[in-house]
Amino acid sequence: MNYQWYPGHMTKAKRQMQEDIRLIDLVIELVDARIPLSSRNPDIDELGKNKARLILLNKSDLSDENANRQWSDWFQKKGFYVVELDARKRNRMNQIQSAIMEACREKIERDRKRGIRNRPVRAMVVGIPNVGKSTFINSFAGKACAKTGNKPGVTKGKQWIRLNKSVELLDTPGILWPRFDDQSVGLRLALIGSMNDDLLNTDELSLELITYLTAHYPGALSERYQVSEDHDRPVEILEEIARKRNCIQKGNEIDYSKAANLVIDEFRSGRIGRITLELPGGPE
Ligand code: G4P
């Protein structure tokens, strides 16, 4: 990961989360809409049990619209509230506000019965590195970023952002690790750029991507690069892309690495199209 996780880090992050979670009513969990399962933390359901839950399918501008709908349904069936999001924009913020209130309806009702009115819902944002947590907090909090400071009964040092009269957000997001135990999860995380590229074999990665794209998004590569997808091996497609994009080194040799990096970059920035790398119904 950009963030290198070690057992010590993980224990500390988990302990912090356990502490913070006691203070809140709602967990706002960001996942990457291109890999909604692979970008989840393996322990979050256990950590967040007994809390209201909202999933934000973030970077949904980069993922397949049809797949976004499938994932929304899938999470909703599991009891989560879900909003598809591009965290850089503010256009879904009303929808998120409504989802928060809906997700916390029971708590609000309980408060009301006890005669407590207007106690804001408290929420925290969690997710793996780079999923868009800070971007979301900035967009959602906007100018309302006034910190409410320490409150009696709250662990010293905790800062709350008062979003409006009904919601307060813990200002530091919970950073959690993704799964490490499964190679295909690692591959998907690498493809979306969650891992440090220095540690990756980008040539291999690009071939995996080409294989996936020709199988699940036929036509995407031929449209982007004017290449034929009708080859036996993905390396032949990479070679054609290299020629088209002039990835040639001294001696007129194909520069595979340059072409590999180009394809990966263009995938990550959405230039090959809106693509989702896993669908509901696969192995969980
Ligand atoms: P984090 O706090 O969870 O670690 O993530 P952060 O907000 O820093 O976001 C990571 C990168 O993802 C940022 O790009 C941000 O602009 C981008 N990003 C966040 N939400 C969305 C979204 O919904 N759609 C798209 N397309 N991008 C999003 P960055 O800082 O410019 O990094 P990079 O893009 O140069 O890697």
Distance CA 58, CA 37 (A): 12
The per-residue pLDDT for 245 is 97
- Report whether 89 contacts 64 (CB < 8 A): no
Mutate to test the pocket of ligand 1, among 60, 130, 138, 170 (most ligand atoms within 8 A of CB): 130
Ranges in the chain, pLDDT < 50: 1-2, 144, 146-155
Identify the residue whose tokens are 């998120």: 96
Taking only the tens place, the pLDDT of each residue in 157-208 is 678 998 888 999 998 899 999 987 888 999 999 999 988 777 789 999 999 9
Task: Read off the pTM.
Answer: 0.92
The per-residue pLDDT for 195 is 80
146-183: b (≥16 Cβ within 10 Å) or e: eeeeeeeeeeeebebbbbeeebbbbbbbbbbbbbeeee
Taking only the tens place, the pLDDT of each residue in 53-83 is 999 999 999 999 999 999 999 999 999 999 9
Whether the CB of 131 sits within 6 Å of ligand 1: yes
The per-residue pLDDT for 43 is 92
Whether the CB of 129 sits within 6 Å of ligand 1: yes
